[in-house]
């Protein structure tokens, strides 16, 4: 599969002054521009965001905070 068509779905939850990003599924961009979303859990609160997939090899040396349920860092501030 073309990785440029793969997206990752996150729920962003605010707790105090910090935001926590939890991966809840994936999304796929179709040839006609539509998007299929496959959720592993259904968020009931917080913001929902779909971002481009970035392989772990490309993230080497960067903070994974914000991608693993921990507080976000400046790289993910909206």
How far is the CA of 27 from the CAs of 23, 30, 51, 74, in angstroms?
12, 10, 9, 24
Q: What was the pLDDT predicted at 75? A: 45
Block residue for tokens 């040839």: 31
* C-alpha dihedral sign at 34, 40, 41, 46: negative
Q: Read off the pLDDT of residues 36-57 as tens digits, 9 standing for 90 and up.
A: 999 998 888 778 899 999 887 7
**CA distance linking residue 76 with residue 1, whole number of Å:** 26
Per-residue pLDDT of the chain in tens (78 residues, 90 and over written 9): 677 889 999 999 889 999 999 999 999 999 999 999 999 988 887 788 999 998 877 666 665 555 555 455 544 444
| Phi and psi, residue 56, nearest 5° | -60, -35
Tell me the whole-structure pTM to 2 decimals.
0.66
């Amino acid at each position: 599969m073309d990785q440029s068509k793969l997206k990752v779905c996150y729920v962003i939850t605010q707790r105090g002054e910090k935001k926590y990003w939890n991966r809840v599924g994936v999304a796929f961009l179709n040839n006609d521009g539509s998007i299929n979303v496959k959720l592993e859990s259904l968020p009931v609160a917080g913001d929902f965001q779909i971002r481009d997939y970035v392989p772990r090899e490309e993230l080497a040396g960067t903070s994974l905070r914000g991608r693993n349920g921990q507080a976000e860092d400046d790289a993910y501030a909206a």
